[in-house]
Amino acid sequence: MAHQWRGVINEYFDRLDIEKGSKVITLGEGGTPLVHAPALAKLVGAADVWLKVEGMNPTGSFKDRGMTMAVTKAVAHGAKAVICASTGNTSASAAAYAAAAGIKSVVLIPEGKITLGKLGQAIAHKAAILQVRGNFDDCLVLARDLSENYAVHLVNSVNPDRIEGQKTASFEVVEALGFAPDFHVMPVGNAGNYSAYFKGYLEEFNEGIIKAVPKMWGFQAEGSAPFVAGHPIENPETIATAIRIGNPASWDLALSAQDCSRGEFGAVSDTEILWMHRFLSNEVGVFVEPSSATGAAGLLKNSKLGKIPTDAKIVVTVTGHGLKDVGWALKDEQGNEVSPTSCSNSAAEVAELLGLEKN
Ligand code: F0G
């Protein structure tokens, strides 16, 4: 059989904090494409931009890299159930990996605030789901409390196993390019992923594989931007539901990553996020969920502020698949629902509707 990608634990075993002989719970996560995006490079005035397309993971988001580690270790410690708070992607991933491991998953989601695609995934993987009357931050407090007092293992990114697994994305970027980019850009919610990428790059630097760590640029939605405000936000609001988080779990780790990489945090409006969501699918060919376009939207904002050198090589992580949240794709720029025109099976009629010229 030809070589098949074996998932991040098997591919990077020697570089992960995991015991030999552990039964690996994997769905083949990682090994995602690094897509060259000349249209985006042109838009922002950089030499090269690549997208790390994390929607290509088994459950459609980057969470799977951390979840294989968290669930593998939970099982090694004898856990019979895992729990998480989630804006949707973590719960989809936790539920899938728990199903693969043959254990239970419990997910706490903010009522009415996760997309149907993500809810469908958690249901499909038979999670026990509760909608909490509150926001993500309330769900996380509850999940932590339950995991401390009941027999259920926490798999949110406050669990260091998650960060450990997610750092493998940096390894892949360096392997694909042969160098580290000047800037690494991504959306930020809890900042677990931002911290994980920095950890990965720092390890590559310490091992002498790369000459410098990229400047880490993290972007939040304006109504939900605690890192920009410098303090938690009590009632975060944004259409980017995946990153509607006011009290980030990885606050200290992220600030240290920002500091060490000479990076920065910024905020973009929902309008800027939706514009970039459309640009990525229309002009680059990569369909992401709106929240995932936040990093690229921030890159454009920084380009307008003159912060991007023309010789810059930039990687932007797009975190989740567009199919997670098709609602925004089904609207045009004015916000009207798009509905394809109905037609008969007559070639002449179809050609006329399409304005095709006869050859
Ligand atoms: N992008 C997407 C698509 C996400 O789902 C998340 C987080 C982020 C970015 C931000 O990552 O929290 O590590 O800074 N989603 C979590 C969830 C909160 O529950 O699915 P972060």
What's the pLDDT tens digit per position in 69-97? 999 999 999 999 999 999 999 999 999 99
Distance CA 188, CA 278 (A): 20
220-224: long-range contacts, CB 8 A cutoff, minimum separation 24: 220/187, 220/188, 220/189, 220/265, 220/266, 220/267, 220/268, 220/294, 221/267, 221/268, 221/269, 221/270, 221/273, 221/291, 221/294, 222/267, 222/268, 222/269, 222/270, 223/270
Query: How many angstroms is it from 307 CA to the middle of ligand 1?
Result: 26
Whether the predicted pLDDT of 59 surpasses 90? yes
Whether residue 242 has its Cβ less than 6 Å from ligand 1: yes
DSSP 117-182: HHHHHHHHTT-EEEEESS-HHHHHHHHHHHHHHSS-EE-STTSHHHHHHHTHHHHHHHHHHSS--S
Q: pTM for the full model? A: 0.97
Mean pLDDT of 30-42: 98
Torsion of CA 327, 329, 332, 333, to 10 degrees: 100
Query: How many angstroms is it from 350 CA to the middle of ligand 1?
Result: 43
| Test site for ligand 1: of 61, 83, 288, most ligand atoms within 8 A of the Cβ | 61
Locate 67 and state its tokens.
């979840």
Distance CA 33, CA 20 (A): 28
Q: Read off the pLDDT of residues 193-219 as tens digits, 9 standing for 90 and up.
A: 999 999 999 999 999 999 999 999 999
Whether residue 191 has its Cβ less than 6 Å from ligand 1: yes
Q: Ligand 1, closest atom to CA 166? A: 13
Distance CA 308, CA 359 (A): 47
Query: How many angstroms is it from 320 CA to the middle of ligand 1?
Result: 9
At 305, is the pLDDT very low, low, confident or very high (cuts 50, 70, 90)? Answer: very high
Locate 29 and state its tokens.
């996560």
Q: Read off the pLDDT of residues 317-350 as tens digits, 9 standing for 90 and up.
A: 999 999 999 999 999 999 999 999 999 999 999 9
Q: Ligand 1, closest atom to CA 84? A: 19
Distance CA 300, CA 306 (A): 10
| Test site for ligand 1: of 59, 291, 325, most ligand atoms within 8 A of the Cβ | 291
Query: How many angstroms is it from 233 CA to the middle of ligand 1?
Result: 17
Whether residue 291 has its Cβ less than 6 Å from ligand 1: yes
Query: How many angstroms is it from 220 CA to the middle of ligand 1?
Result: 11
Residue identifier of the C-alpha nearest atom 19 of ligand 1 = 86
Distance CA 81, CA 343 (A): 52
Locate 23 and state its tokens.
């039964």
Q: Give which of 295, 289, 262 is closest to 189, Cα–Cα.
A: 295
Q: Ligand 1, closest atom to CA 118? A: 20
List the beta strands (DSSP E) in the chain: 34-36, 48-53, 81-85, 104-110, 128-132, 153-154, 183-187, 215-221, 264-268, 313-318
Residues above pLDDT 70, as percent of the chain: 99
Mean pLDDT of 126-150: 98
Distance CA 205, CA 185 (A): 18
| Test site for ligand 1: of 90, 162, 184, 243, most ligand atoms within 8 A of the Cβ | 243
Distance CA 235, CA 203 (A): 36
Whether residue 319 has its Cβ less than 6 Å from ligand 1: yes
Q: Give SS3 for 185.
A: strand
Whether the predicted pLDDT of 2 surpasses 80? no
Q: Say what the pLDDT of residue 101 is.
A: 98
Query: How many angstroms is it from 345 CA to the middle of ligand 1?
Result: 44
Q: Say what the pLDDT of residue 126 is.
A: 98
Whether residue 64 has its Cβ less than 6 Å from ligand 1: no
Q: Say what the pLDDT of residue 1 is.
A: 59
Q: Give SS3 for 93.
A: helix
Query: How many angstroms is it from 256 CA to the middle of ligand 1?
Result: 19
